[in-house]
Amino acid sequence: MNNALAQADHAVETLRAQRQDDYYPQFHLAPAAGWINDPNGLVYINGVYHAFYQHHPYDENWGPMHWGHAISRDLAHWQHQPIALAPGDDYDKDGCFSGCAVDDNGVLTLIYTGHVWLDKVGDDDQVREVQCLATSEDGVHFVKHGPVLAPPEGIQHFRDPKVWRENDGWWMVVGAKQNGLGQARLYRSKDLRSWQFDRVLDGAQTLHQGYMWECPDFFPLGEKQVLLFSPQGLAAQGYRHRNRFQSGYLLGHWQPGADFNVTQPFCELDAGHDFYAPQTFTAADGRRLLFAWMDMWESPMPSKAHGWAGALTLPRELTLNAEGDVLMNPARELAALRGLPQRFAAAQLRNQRQLLAENLQELTLSLDLAASDAERYGIAIGDAARLYVDNQAHRLVLERFSEEPGLCGCRSVPLPAGDTLSLRVFIDRSSLEVFVNQGVACLTSRIYPTDGRRGVSLFAESGQAQFEALQGWELASIWA
């Protein structure tokens, strides 16, 4: 197996030498080369943050899943590490699928899904999935210990374990499909190696709620408990559920040994084009943080022509407001990447477009809704995207443009109540992340400007718009 890891690392180095960086992110986690999808094994241990991720090191397409690895001491600057896990044993020969990491008395411990195709590769009707364990003494090199949990009779799809410690024991939530419907199954253990089924935390009652619940996560936030998961198979409903697959949460109450009492129905976590498989972890100071995959299944990915594909979102802080909404905001540590601030005076535009700057990567601005009557007004990022208020639909719209039709289109959220709309926007080489009114809504989308230009402009169409004072920054690279 060490040979498999060495071969995978060599493959990444070879691809890295050929990688083109037109779209390669400056301040988002991405593989040095090859493919990335779900974030895995997010953990703070022994003074270091670890981010693992689903990785195919041999080319830019999805393939047999490895675990890529990066570390940070400050959540702002990162270093790539050797690949942590490679498939090849009889229980994971076709992939080391998603999972998590925990601190087991100072030992970095990974729990992941071993995946095997029982018939031909890609035939989801014939698979075997088991939960496996691996440990590391140095935080870099891992020893596999094999399966620790198999699915019950009648369940094949059984993956993406998320483990935490509570009440002197370990708990695990796993995504599953039973009788054609998605569910989140709960298990408990004393030692991470012997697991007992506790109960089904929650599950789909009809196909409208998803045929598979991937990447579950279960954690306290404020006075509530959050069940975070990525259901597959939800039908689009107006402005909602527009992506191939969704990610969102249920809110409720739970105590060990009891049922999960859901008090708020499923809510999407991010309204953009590219957000999937979010996973949370606990910061050194106890904050609940989150990364997600900043792409979407079956979406065109122009970076593949450059030798790589996929990235993770910025790290985000989760909080719960008084209304019971989960808020997401950029991790405060990201301020360490800022250069000198660039300030722009308030502007009143009528049927105009005004260039702010060519090099802004973080921008904060407020729009005076009460003083604006334009049909559409907001900001444009080169010719690749626009973020604007649609005064007729009363929505905030993120629209992207491309020569590739599959990368065109809109995502939107209702305008929050009040006369002021506050926006915090991050613009990387191929992505746009928008945080609305201190995190009450978020929109995350990949963008691919064909001319490389990402200059930020203000605009107002068919009327007048009032922009309050704006501030922006260039951001340093995260790669230490």
Any idea which residues carry the catalytic annotation? 38
| ∠ CA 445-323-329, rounded to 5° | 35
CA separation for the pair 234, 239 (Å, rounded): 13
CA separation for the pair 99, 41 (Å, rounded): 6
Helix (H, G, I), strand (E, B) or coil at 8: helix
CA separation for the pair 176, 216 (Å, rounded): 9
Structure tokens, 118: 């029982």
> Other C-beta atoms within 10 Å of 307: how many?
21
Residue count (the chain): 480
Q: Is the dihedral of CA 176, 178, 184, 190 positive or negative?
A: negative
**Is the separation of the CB atoms in 154 and 178 below 8 Å?**
yes
**Is the separation of the CB atoms in 105 and 168 below 8 Å?**
no
Residue-wise DSSP of 186-232: EEEESSSSSEEEEEEEEE-SSGGG-SEEEEEEEEEETTEEEEEEEEE
Helix (H, G, I), strand (E, B) or coil at 262: strand
Contacts of 451 (CB under 8 A, 6+ apart): 382, 383
